[in-house]
Amino acid sequence: MSEFLGPLDAAGRVPARQQTRIASFLMSGHGALARQLAIAMPPHLRFGWQTEMHAQLYRETEVVSLLVHATSWVPDLEIPLLCLAWEAAWLPKPVADIKDRDQGLLIDTAALGHALHAAIRPAALLPLEAAAEDPFVLALRRIEFESSRMMQAQIQFLKSPQLLDVRDAVNAAVERRHAEVRRLWTALLESIGVTEG
Amino acid sequence: MAFLSFGSHTIRYDLSGPQKGPSYVLVNGLTQYSELWGVYREALTARNFRVLTFDLLGQGESDKPTLFINQDDHVAVLRPLIELVSDGPVFLAGISFGGLIALRYAIEQGDTLAGLVPMSTFAELSPQLLLIGNALRTGLILGGTSYLQDLLLPMNLSDSWLAPLMDKLDSVKRQGWLVNDVYALQNLMESFLDFNPLTPHLGSIRVPTMILNGEFDFLTPRALHDALRARIPDSALIIVPRAYHAFTLEKAALTADLLARFATDVLAGQWSGGGAVRVAPEEPGGDILPFPADFDHLRAIPVRKPTT
């Protein structure tokens, strides 16, 4: 087990099997967020915050597209089964102690977005020797870099005054989504010989 | 390295030195982690102090609350940590954000301390500090931890420290970047940008207090430290020459020596703060000199105090 991806090849590239698994996981998570945002997106924007939702939708879509094109894919027979488990985890879940079902689902979507953007740090897996101009390496760096901006929308919503009365429920929902995302991410990394430092 | 349970969270800490005796508890600043006190651990344990360092809640390998964290949580974490060494005199020192936490602890639980050392810190946000803090937070959000480090390094360290490291700054930054997460740093910064000033409560700190301020500290300049000196009854302000905000990193041997001498003086009953302003030596072991009595220590040029 190592704290970083590798061993790198002579050109400083991450092994294709590791690329395939990491890209599959990230595409599943960010793809789920994109789908949830697309469903929630009204045909015509009526509120200011919906402009941020629109931006999020296309940034999530960009993450998926970037990984499709930047990854060196290899066949991996376990991916379909893994994907089933991941996709089941991303499904919207009601938040305990929130009576308004729609509000609860919105909180859960934001909590999932916060967890995927905050708890997953793909660039921190890259060893110092990783090829600086390799597309997959750059993709991981870009996803981590953009995540810190993307999670601002979730933070603003989850910490907003209108949710002050249900702060404990919000906090519990975010902690639960973080724990779930970390569990899946840690298991994925272990499957490719990486342990988080 | 050990872990302490605190509510639903765990705190990573390291305790070294003799089984009994006086202790120093050292509190980190933003983006720091326990290992950065390594020089202090060696220097202070060699002088028979126990040394307890830890990662703040939200930093390093301690738990990182996902959304909500406030200063009360940091002060609350200090209590069980200090209890670990409370069978002997405890000296509490903190740098920057850590200094603020140490001040709050001393206000609330001063009777559990033998001495206090706030370093590069503040009791309230001046307009400059508030604006800089907000800008640093925005920098973190827009550019990530690495960009925040890019801002902090030249602001807080001297040319002489940076010059030999210019071609390896990425590796200098890497460990801090690896162990710190943006959301956790953001939570931490926001907990420090929204707090009630401690200034009205400083008078309740009754323990001997040595305030350390770098000569060239741009982030928390002299006036913020002088506010501590003027209000904490048994305090003295020691100006660390040629030092910037992060002098605990840059001048670790000198600062460790100052900490040891302060605690030794307190334990021997020889400490006298008296609101004095003093100048630290350039090297460990040198004389601590009084600031020239006729001159204004708040000015950056030699200006005589106005005669009254």
Residues B28, B94: Cα–Cα separation, whole Å: 6
- pTM for the whole structure: 0.90
Residue range B189-220, pLDDT digits in tens: 888 877 889 999 999 999 999 999 999 999 99
Q: Which domain holds residue B209?
A: 2-128+192-290
User: What is the predicted ipTM?
Assistant: 0.88
Q: How far is B45 from chain A (nearest CA, A)?
A: 28
Q: How far is A144 from chain B (nearest CA, A)?
A: 9
Q: Which domain holds residue A66?
A: 16-191
Kindly indicate the confidence band of residue A21, based on its pLDDT and cuts at 50, 70 and 90.
very high
pLDDT for the residue A96: 83
* B153, part of any domain: no
Kindly indicate the confidence band of residue B1, based on its pLDDT and cuts at 50, 70 and 90.
confident
* A6, part of any domain: no
Residues 6+ apart with CB under 8 A from B165: B172
pLDDT for the residue B190: 87
Give the residue among A89, A73, A92 at the shortest CA–CA distance from A24.
A73
Nearest to A175 among B66, B142, B174 (CB): B66
Residue range B212-248, pLDDT digits in tens: 999 999 999 999 999 999 999 999 999 999 999 999 9
* B222, part of any domain: yes
Q: How many domains does chain A have?
A: 1
pLDDT for the residue B194: 75
Q: Rg of the Cα trace of chain B? A: 18
Q: Which alpha helices (DSSP H) does chain B contain, by range?
A: 38-45, 71-83, 97-109, 127-156, 159-162, 169-179, 182-193, 222-231, 247-250, 252-267
Work out how many CB contacts closer than 8 A connect A with B: 46
Q: How far is B297 from chain A (nearest CA, A)?
A: 42
User: Looking at chain B, which residue has its C-alpha nearest residue A152?
Assistant: B141
The CATH number of the domain where B221 resides is what? 3.40.50.1820
Query: Tokens standing for A48?
Result: 């200011």
Contact A197 B178 (CB under 8 A): yes
* B30, part of any domain: yes
Q: How many domains does chain B have?
A: 1
A156 touches chain B (CB under 8 A): no
pLDDT more than 90, % of chain A:
74
A152 touches chain B (CB under 8 A): yes
* A76, part of any domain: yes
* A42, part of any domain: yes
* B113, part of any domain: yes
User: How far is Cα of residue B38 from the mean position of the Cα atoms in its chain?
Assistant: 15
Q: Across residues A37-54, what is the average pLDDT?
A: 87
B110 touches chain A (CB under 8 A): no
* A180, part of any domain: yes
A183 touches chain B (CB under 8 A): no
Dihedral over alpha carbons A192, A108, B74, A150 (to 10 degrees): 70
Q: How far is CA B165 from CA A183, B147, B154, B161, B171, in A?
A: 38, 17, 12, 7, 9
Beta-bridge mates of residue B25: B52, B92
Burial of B293 (0-12, 13-18, 19+ CB in 10 A): exposed
Whether residue B41 has pLDDT greater than 70 = yes
* A2, part of any domain: no
Q: Across residues B151-162, what is the average pLDDT?
A: 94
A151 touches chain B (CB under 8 A): yes
* B150, part of any domain: no
Whether residue A197 has pLDDT greater than 70 = no
Q: Across residues A41-47, what is the average pLDDT?
A: 88
Whether residue A19 has pLDDT greater than 90 = yes
Residues of B with Cβ-Cβ distance to A152 under 8 angstroms:
141
* B206, part of any domain: yes
* A139, part of any domain: yes
* B168, part of any domain: no
Q: Across residues A70-86, what is the average pLDDT?
A: 97
* B78, part of any domain: yes
State the DSSP H helix or E strand holding residue A57, giving kind and residue range, or none if neither.
Answer: helix A49-70
